[in-house]
Amino acid sequence: MNESKSQYNPISSFSEYIAIIDDIIYRWKADLNESITPDLWFRGQSRDLPLFPKIFRPTINPDTGRYCKYKELSIITMFTALYRNYTTERFLEKTSEFYSFMQHYGVPTRLLDWTESAAFALFFAINDVVDYENNQPVVWVMNPGALNYLTTQKKNPFGPFVCD
């Protein structure tokens, strides 16, 4: 799509939401001259905030009531020392699986959760919203294939392939 952030009017039904998703797919197919439906990723947020991983978002210190930043190295060190007490899962290196494991348990990481399901993203967008007047839930949509193409100029940045 040509614009970096599309704006749609607030929706009031699931069918409206699906119609918007269908419109996004149609427009992306047209913009990219594609005949197949692109694989899209969705992220639901209870507020319209920038896409920052939790580790980079300011948080309120419960002891002081002041905003502060997370100390990533301290968090990773503490989690590494303690997680073995609660699970049989073991990690030899700090891999993406390790960070996914941390995030699964609510530890702030530099990962953002995405899903291939528009319905799941909508659930996460509206699940925790209490005040719709001050917190507008949003669903972000990303085309990872198009993003790869923009950054590598290759349709498949993992090629070429050797086939038997």
pLDDT tens series, the chain, 164 aa:
444 455 677 888 999 999 999 998 888 887 777 777 778 999 999 888 889 898 998 888 888 889 888 889 999 999 988 888 888 888 877 788 888 889 888 899 999 999 999 999 999 999 877 776 777 889 999 988 878 878 887 666 555 555 54
Residue 144 tokens, joined:
């990872």
Q: Where are the beta strands (DSSP E) in the chain?
A: 41-45, 59-60, 67-68, 138-142
Would you say 51 and 112 are in contact if contact means Cβ atoms under 8 Å apart? yes
Find where tokens 């319209």 sit.
48
Question: Residue 164: its pLDDT value, please?
Answer: 47
- Global pTM value: 0.75
Estimate the crossing angle of helix 14-31 against helix 118-126, to 10 degrees: 130
Name every residue whose Cβ is closer than 8 Å to that of residue 72 and which is 6 or more positions away in sequence.
Answer: 55, 108, 110
Question: Residue 1: its pLDDT value, please?
Answer: 40
Cα 62 to Cα 68: distance, rounded to the nearest angstrom: 10
Cα 94 to Cα 96: distance, rounded to the nearest angstrom: 7
